[in-house]
Amino acid sequence: MTFDNDDCDCGTGIDRRGFLRGCGAVFAMAAAATPTAAEGGPTPGDLSALLDGLPTNWGRWGEDDERGALNFLGSAEAFDGMQAAVSGGRKRIERFTLQLSVTGEAAQDPLFVGRFPARKDNTLDARFDGVEGSPIPLPGGLKYADDAFATRLFLQGTTHMDALGHAWYGEHLYNGYPQASTATPTTYDDPVTGLRDADFDGDLETYDTTTTYGLGQADVTAAAGAGVAGRGVLLDVGRQFGDEDGRLAPDFGIGLDELRATAEAQGVEVQEHDIVLVRTGSVERARDPDAEYDPLTEPGLVYSEELVRWFHELETPVVGADNVAIERAAQVVDGELYFAPLHGALLRNLGITLLEILDLSALGAACAADGIYEFLFTGAPLNVPGGSGAPVNPVVLKATDEKA
């Protein structure tokens, strides 16, 4: 299979901020498929046919498994990660968190297209001190602040982990679970009013959330319960193939050759069961007020049979990146157009957990400074039953040649 990186400009040219008017994510992605086949562009492909014959991990850990490739992470992998972290001694360990801050600013948060920024507001603070009916101060004089999100908080709107049931093709999710299980109802005794965009037009309406729907199988609770701990490796493709700021050009496709070349240049070996993080520079571009940024043209991994088999042979449990989708949103393979084909190959078929919108800027700079690209990676998503994904704040402990 080949990826025609130069044959299709699949971006819309619409600035990310323009999507805040509320177009739905599905329609935003569909708008990216330009030019159309009628205009001489690529024809839509068949993901089932594209991935037919490639390896899967269905049934590998039993017919009821919902953890997928996280099953590869055990005591030995945690030990390897800890060894990497302490290799410089007790005074040469750096700590990094990889979660992007939730600012609420449309111009800063690289949210998925069509999703509004999450904004919090105080429900209690100093303004309420002594106000009649206010719960502050408490008996004895203690005062406190409290807050809540004032807008909808998308579980996959900032740094997050995908559940294995998040994306699929055909009629089955990871491990053969039926697609109908993604609409599993939960009924509550106590009514709560919610907000939704039923018509994908940006107009929110209230509704009764007495009954809600979520993933009945392969939801994010499997990863939340298992956690992630192991040897992580950063492949800083942005520094290897990018501009002077270490950012890949829009639409840049990262294939297996680029990953291998980056690892060789860094002097690091990607081993079995490693947690693989790929830096593209997209987070820096998204938060740079002077840079042009469109999430539909973000650089990222691109599909090939060789890449899929590489991850399979390495028994990779987790792949993460500093962009919205790990891979390029729109890809042309052998003249046919696909959206996020690696979500089908990696998430659905191999059960590889995907971490998206990681902040790899500080970690990347530290690795480049001391030449150490391996570390202990730990993290777990919020435990949200039925969730198709959830926010996560990974913590990395990395050896360095400088005293901390």
User: What does the domain layout of the chain look like in residue ranges?
Assistant: 16-104+155-179+218-399
Q: How far is CA 194 from the centre of its chain?
A: 25
- Banded pLDDT at 370 (limits 50, 70, 90): very high
Q: What is the pLDDT of residue 106?
A: 80
**What 3-state DSSP class applies to 188?**
coil
Q: What tens digit of pLDDT does each residue of 162-219 get? A: 999 999 999 999 999 999 999 999 999 998 999 888 877 778 899 999 999 999 999 9
Q: Region 86-104: what's the mean pLDDT?
A: 94
Give 202-242 as a DSSP string: S--EEEETTEEEE-SSS-THHHHHH-EEEEEEEEEHHHHHS
Residues 300-315: what's their mean pLDDT? 98
Q: Which residue has the higher pLDDT, 286 or 75?
A: 75
Which parts of 59-138 fold into alpha helices (H)?
A: 75-86
3-state helix, strand, coil in the chain (%, to 5): 25, 20, 50
Q: Contact at 8 Å (CB) between 10 and 34?
A: yes
Comparison of pLDDT for 230 and 401, the residue scoring more: 230
Count of Cβ atoms closer than 10 Å to residue 194 Cβ: 13
Q: What is the mean pLDDT of residues 83-88?
A: 96
Q: What's the CA gap between 171 and 211, in Å, rounded?
A: 24
Tell me what pLDDT residue 211 has. Answer: 95
Report the relative pairing of strands 193-196 and 211-214 from DSSP bridges.
unpaired
| Mean predicted confidence (pLDDT) in 134-149 | 93
Classify burial at 157, counting beta carbons within 10 Å of its beta carbon; exposed 0-12, middle 13-18, buried 19 or more: buried
Contact assessment for residue 66 and residue 164, using Cβ atoms and an 8 Å cutoff: yes
d(CA 323, CA 30): 19
Asked whether the predicted pLDDT for residue 28 surpasses 70, the reply is no
Q: Which of 66, 364, 70 is nearest to 229 (CA)?
A: 70
Average pLDDT in the chain: 89
CATH of 16-104+155-179+218-399, one of 3.40.50.2300, 3.30.450.20, 3.50.30.50, 1.10.150.530: 3.50.30.50
Lowest-pLDDT choice from 39-48, 175-184, 265-274, 301-310: 39-48
Is the pLDDT higher at 118 or at 280? 280
At residue 289 the predicted structure's pLDDT band, cuts being 50, 70 and 90, is confident
Distance CA(299)–CA(295), nearest Å, equals 9
Token pair of 294, please? Answer: 């469109």
pLDDT at 37: 58
What is the rounded end-to-end Cα distance, in angstroms, of the chain? Answer: 47
Mean pLDDT over 325-350 rounds to 95
Rounded to 5°, the CA angle 145-393-219 comes to 105
Mean pLDDT of 17-30: 44
The torsion angles phi and psi of 318, rounded to 5 degrees, stand at -145, 135
| Prediction pTM value | 0.91
At residue 91, the pLDDT reads 94
Instruction: Using the predicted structure, report yes or no on whether residue 283 has a pLDDT greater than 50.
Output: yes
Residues 248/251/254/258 CA torsion (nearest 10 deg): -50
pLDDT at 2: 39
Instruction: Tell me the percentage of the chain whose pLDDT exceeds 90.
Output: 76
SS3 362: helix
* Residue range 345-360: mean pLDDT, rounded: 97
For 222, the enclosing helix (H) or strand (E) is helix 221-226
Query: What phi and psi, each to the nearest 5 degrees, are found at residue 102?
Result: -100, 95
Q: For 51-82, what is each residue's pLDDT tens digit? A: 999 999 999 999 999 999 999 999 999 999 99
Long-range contacts of 137-146 (CB under 8 A, 24+ apart): 146/122
